[in-house]
A and B are shown apart, each in its own frame.
Chain A
Amino acid sequence: MTEHALATDYIVDSVTGVDVSLPVAGLGGRSFAFVIDWHIRIILALAWIYGGDFLVKRLAGPDVLYQETLAYIFGVIVPGAAIYFLYHLVLEVAMHGRTPGKRMAGVRVVTREGGTPGAGALVVRNVFRIIDSMPLFYVVGLATTALTAQHVRIGDLAAGTLLVYDRRTTRDSLASLPASLASSLGPQYAEVIEDLLARWKELEPDVRQQLGRALLQRVEPQVTAEQTGDIQARLRDALARSQQ
Chain B
Amino acid sequence: MSAQSDQALRAWLEKRVPQWRRIATLHHDLSRARAANAKDAMDLAEGYRSVARDLSMARRLMPASRTRQTLESLYADLHAMLHRPAHRLRSDLVRIFRVDVPAFVHDLRMYIVAVTVLFLATAAAAAWLVASNGDLIGLLLGEETVSALERGELWTDSVLSVVPPAVISVGLLTNNIVVMLSAFCAGVFFGLGTFYVIGMNGALLGALFAFTARYDLGMRLFEFAVAHGLVELSVICVAGAAGAALGEALIRPGTRTRREAFQQVSGRSIKLLGVLALLLIGCGFIEGYISTDPAFPLISRIIIGVGYWLLMVSILNGRLFEGRLFKRRAAATASQPA
Contacts and interface: CB of A to CB of B under 8 A. Distances in A.
B181 A130 contact: yes
Contacts, number: 146
A115 B24 contact: no
Contacts of B117: none
B147 interface: no
A47 interface: no
Contact of A157 (B9, B65, B164, B262): B262
B181 A74 contact: no
Nearest to A14: B79
Interface centre among A114, A174, A181 (most CB of B within 10 A): A174
Given A14-B52, A70-B164, A173 B17 contact: no
B13 A181 contact: yes
Interface in B175-219: 178, 181-182, 184-186, 188
A116 B79 CA distance: 9
A170 B270 contact: no
A177 B56 contact: no
B267 A120 contact: yes
B28 interface: yes
A124 B66 contact: no
Nearest to A195: B66
Interface string A52-78: 000000000000000010100110001
Nearest to B165: A70
Contact of A170 (B24, B53, B166): B24
Contacts of B300: none
Contacts of A163: none
A181 B28 CA distance: 24
Contact of A12 (B69, B72, B79, B166): B79
B256 interface: no
A181 B56 CA distance: 19
A239 interface: no
B66 A158 contact: no
Interface stretch (A15-23, A29-37, A219-227): A15-23
Interface in B110-167: 164, 166-167
Interface stretch (B81-89, B309-317, B321-329): B81-89
Interface stretch (A38-46, A184-192, A200-208, A228-236): A184-192
Given A18-B52, A20-B79, A188 B69 contact: no
Interface in B261-279: 262-263, 266-267, 270-271, 273-274
A115 B83 contact: yes
B259 interface: yes
A130 B266 contact: no
A158 B266 CA distance: 6
A70 B167 contact: yes
Contacts of A14: 52, 79
B49 A167 contact: no
A177 B53 contact: no
B159 to A, nearest CB: 14
Interface in B65-82: 65-67, 69-70, 72-77, 79-82
A74 B166 CA distance: 9
A131 B52 CA distance: 40
Contacts of A199: none
Contact of A114 (B49, B80, B170): B80
Contacts of A110: 80
Contact of A177 (B17, B188, B259, B267): B17
Interface in B224-279: 259, 262-263, 266-267, 270-271, 273-274
B65 to A, nearest CB: 5
Given A73-B167, A171-B24, A188-B65, A177 B80 contact: no
Contacts of A188: 1, 62, 65
A188 B65 CA distance: 6
A158 B264 CA distance: 8
Contacts of B66: 173, 176-177, 180, 191, 194-195
Contact of A169 (B67, B69, B186, B188): B69
Contacts of B262: 157-158
A123 B270 contact: yes
Contacts of A73: 166-167, 170
Given A73-B167, A187-B65, 6 more contacts: A14-B79, A18-B53, A21-B72, A170-B73, A181-B14, A186-B6
21 contacts: A12-B79, A16-B53, A20-B75, A20-B79, A110-B80, A114-B83, A115-B79, A115-B82, A115-B84, A116-B80, A116-B83, A123-B270, A123-B274, A131-B185, A167-B69, A167-B72, A167-B76, A170-B24, A173-B66, A187-B9, A191-B65
Interface of A: 12, 14, 16-18, 20-22, 68, 70, 73-74, 78, 96, 110-111, 113-116, 118, 120-121, 123-124, 127-128, 130-131, 154, 157-160, 167-171, 173-174, 176-178, 180-181, 186-188, 191, 194-195
Q: Which 4 A-B pairs have the closest CB atoms?
A: A115-B83, A16-B52, A158-B266, A173-B70
